[in-house]
Chains A and B, each alone.
Chain A
């Protein structure tokens, strides 16, 4: 799937000096190509997560639009957009996002179960778990996981509906070198299978897997 953002920007109200708003992302055009890995780097606070959330339909932009295969995300109503995200956009949020009342396996199946039968997804869920080497803890409550285990579970969860677009916000943040490579390779191979992949990362290693590299600087996006 192809994702296209036009004139996308986001401001937050924040009283600072004489300005009463703050521009987290300056107006920018941006796109994700099918079968390509796009890497986005940049300092902390530069606006990477803000951009990624807008691309994922999670944050209403101040200006501009985001469309996936020609469908304008923010022209949809909430029901439609939620369902669309569920099927087509795999988002790995920054930081911890385990649902603590569910087991690892349940966490991974959940997105698939939202709009249908979760049972159908179990086989693929187990496959993902073993791909990320957490199959042995599939019945453990996710509140008991280590940072790296939780992170890998989140990645598996984002992939369960086989989304055409994958938005990964610092997916390797908690991982050791070995797992970092594993995750990046997996994302790379998903792109090779046709997905459009965006990876926000501080990891210089990621450049190796990238087709395109962007840098965010104070809200301004630059292609490298």
Chain B
């Protein structure tokens, strides 16, 4: 008989009571963990997207604005294309405040025998590019050769494998880290490769433009120099250049970031509501429980337990429940959030990128703390109230 085993014995003695409290704690920590991982995944998705764009301003032909959903294409990877004359690049470069400008070339592969998959193909100029390269270099350090492609994380072809576009075979040399968006289905190549593919498409009568691939570009990615205002530079381009439109990247993301913060706030509110609700129920359950166990506690005092020891006993019981319930709740939360993150992304239509192990562990620790605080805090009041009353009085009440 060791006094330290008393809390466990008490919990085992009343499995029903213990189960009810456990379920409350599980509920609470599940909500906190699943909720916080979701919120952080959404935030992560957005910042991933921002980093991915890597540009302050994107210049596209005016027609792109009216004909194609630019956001859909750039952010969600919906296959699409548009073109403008290459001379625009020089004009953009001469605009004051433009530090770097690099062209990109868009084309779409088709769902037909000549292509292994229907996807967005994005070409960039390795000499001037600053938006795609840094991010490719995370998984591929060498220079992309002609007919080399780097694929998004959702494309199932393995590194070292081949993909075929308009009957041109390309080597998959690297796979990118996931962004949690439709961009994970895109394919990246250098400009020469894209021109070859455009020519191949034209040869098959599937040309996506009548123009000469050598004189065309799809978009210009701009990095604004320090000390210049992005909006001002974009406005300047929009006023002085014809048939193109300069779109600040921020504004493209603002729609997403708005609905993202809306959803995040809703989730936070929900988590807080669940936590408070479970906490309040726990307070009620504990106070009922302490009431029901008054006689038992009084007897412990009679045989020599001090107020502090009794409070410790009650807190230990609730702490044990909190640890077990917290761990189960977090495990359940993980079992729901991680396997279904793709489904969640599709469902809410927002970038959803599970944070790294470090963040997940931190969130799990915080959720556990939320559970650890709730149990003892909920029982503390009852324990305190009980300790204020003389044992002799409780002995009678409990009879």
Contact = CB atoms under 8 A, between A and B. Distances in A.
Interface of A: 49-50, 53-54, 56, 58-60, 78-79, 81-83, 85-87, 91, 93-102, 105-106, 109-111, 113-115, 118-119, 122, 157-158, 161
Contacts of B296: 99-100
Contact of B1 (A60, A82, A91, A106): A106
A82 B396 CA distance: 19
B300 A118 contact: no
Bin the interface of chain B by size.
Answer: 20 to 34
Given A82-B304, A102-B6, 12 more contacts: A58-B301, A58-B391, A78-B307, A82-B305, A82-B307, A83-B304, A93-B395, A96-B399, A98-B299, A101-B10, A113-B1, A118-B2
Interface string B1-38: 11100100110111000000000000000000000000
Contacts of B14: 101
A105 B9 CA distance: 14
B390 A119 contact: no
Given A59-B390, A99-B296, A113 B3 contact: yes
Given A58-B395, A114-B309, A118-B3, A100 B13 contact: yes
B309 A82 contact: yes
Contacts of B295: 96-97
A101 B395 contact: no
Nearest to B300: A99
Contacts of A95: 399
B216 to A, nearest CB: 82
Contacts of B10: 101
B262 interface: no
Given A79-B308, A83-B304, A119 B1 contact: yes
A109 B392 contact: no
A35 to B, nearest CB: 24
A73 B2 CA distance: 28
A96 B305 CA distance: 18
Contacts of B392: 49-50, 53-54, 56, 58-59
A222 B334 CA distance: 71
A53 B395 contact: yes
A21 to B, nearest CB: 15
A51 B309 CA distance: 26
Nearest to A87: B304
Nearest to B7: A101
A63 to B, nearest CB: 15
Given A59-B392, A59-B393, A109-B1, A115 B302 contact: no
A56 B295 CA distance: 17
Contact of A58 (B3, B12, B309, B390): B390
Nearest to A77: B306
B112 interface: no
Interface string B120-142: 00000000000000000000000
B304 A114 contact: yes
Interface in B368-396: 390-393, 395-396
Nearest to B308: A79
Nearest to B9: A101
Nearest to B390: A59
B304 A85 contact: yes
A189 to B, nearest CB: 22
Which of B301, B306, B307 has most chain A Cβ within 10 Å? Answer: B306
Given A58-B390, A109-B1, A157 B303 contact: yes
Contacts of B308: 78-79
A75 to B, nearest CB: 16
Which of B1, B14, B395 has most chain A Cβ within 10 Å? Answer: B1
B304 A111 contact: yes
A122 to B, nearest CB: 8
Given A58-B392, A59-B391, A105-B1, A93 B304 contact: no
Which of B10, B300, B304, B391 has most chain A Cβ within 10 Å? Answer: B304
Interface string B295-334: 1101111111111110000000000000000000000000
B302 A97 contact: yes
Contacts of A157: 303
Nearest to A80: B306
Contacts of A93: 298-299, 302, 395
B356 to A, nearest CB: 45
A126 B90 CA distance: 99
Given A79-B308, A95-B399, A101 B2 contact: no
Contacts of B3: 110, 113-114, 118
Contacts of B13: 100-101
A111 B392 CA distance: 18
A99 B299 contact: yes
A93 B6 CA distance: 21
Given A58-B390, A93-B299, A82 B9 contact: no
